């Protein structure tokens, strides 16, 4: 199938996992979600990633984001692997890891890229909104671990811009100045953003984070 694009509905699925059978939509409820795939169990980079994800759980919880991972190995293998992850990363993995032995979910989400590997999933990331629409996609090669600080930064941006008529500039971090939407006239922006509007160019206006 074609790759999922931003704004597409995230395909629902029911699958076995490290915590039993789960349905994606039921699991997410009205929360945001982050779905990330791993090439296989007992792989070194993935071990560090899943351990880091578990260590970041409180940060994701603060943002109402539920994590769900995926590997093409089975649930029994996942649970043995989780023991290793907890040990070497000094953490506790509590989020589900999908057992995608039949590659059903991998196919739905276009996680297998034949020019990279015919059998193993690439390191895909999908951020899914409460409306079950895809808000972000990222694809990493198998050799490169993900940056979870960046994933949190992106979620902060997505959640801010979903509720306010702003965008976030390069290297933006939570609490910093944001860009006023180009669709808003400066005169209107000055009424909307009570903290002030700085006009750098007619098309580039900055305002303090409206939530800070």
* pLDDT above 60: residue 62: yes
Any idea what the Cα angle at residue 154 is, between residues 5 and 148, rounded to 5°? 105
Q: How far apart are CA 182 and CA 206, in angstroms?
A: 11
Q: How confident is the model over 134-153, as pLDDT tens digits?
A: 999 998 887 889 999 999 99
Q: Which helix (H) or strand (E) holds 128?
A: strand 123-128
Q: How confident is the model over 173-199, as pLDDT tens digits?
A: 999 999 999 999 999 999 999 999 999
From the candidates 28, 34, 46, 189, give the one annotated as an active-site residue: 46
Average pLDDT over the chain, rounded to an integer: 92
* pLDDT above 60: residue 118: no
Domain with residues 164-207, CATH architecture: 2-Layer Sandwich (3.30)
Active site residue 149: no
Residue 36 and residue 3 in contact, taking contact as beta carbons nearer than 8 Å: no
Q: How far apart are CA 133 and CA 65, in angstroms?
A: 14
pTM to 2 decimals? 0.91
pLDDT at 125: 93
Q: Which stretches within 72-210 are classed as H helix?
A: 75-89, 104-108, 148-163, 186-192
In the structure, what pLDDT confidence band is assigned to residue 1 with cuts at 50, 70 and 90?
very low
In the chain, what are the domain boundaries? Answer: 14-146, 164-207
Is CATH 3.40.30.10 correct for 14-146? Answer: yes
């Amino acid at each position: 199938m074609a790759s999922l694009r931003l704004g597409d509905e995230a395909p629902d699925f029911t699958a076995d996992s490290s915590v039993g059978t789960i349905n994606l939509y039921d699991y997410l409820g009205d929360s945001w979600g982050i779905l990330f795939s791993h090439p296989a169990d007992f792989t070194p980079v993935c071990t560090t990633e899943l351990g880091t994800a578990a260590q970041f759980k409180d940060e994701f919880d603060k943002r109402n984001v539920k994590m769900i991972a995926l590997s093409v190995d089975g649930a029994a293998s996942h649970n043995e692997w989780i023991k290793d992850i907890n040990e070497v990363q000094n953490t506790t993995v509590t989020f589900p890891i999908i057992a995608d032995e039949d590659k059903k979910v991998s196919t739905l989400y276009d996680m297998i890229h034949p020019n990279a590997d015919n059998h193993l999933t690439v390191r895909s990331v999908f951020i899914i909104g409460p409306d079950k629409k895809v808000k972000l996609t990222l694809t990493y090669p198998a050799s490169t671990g993900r940056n979870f600080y960046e994933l949190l930064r992106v979620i902060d941006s997505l959640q801010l811009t979903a509720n306010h008529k702003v965008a976030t500039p390069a290297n933006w971090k939570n609490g910093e100045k944001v860009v006023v939407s180009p669709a808003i006239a400066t005169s209107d922006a000055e009424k909307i953003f009570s903290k002030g509007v700085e006009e750098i160019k007619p098309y580039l206006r900055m305002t303090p984070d409206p939530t800070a």
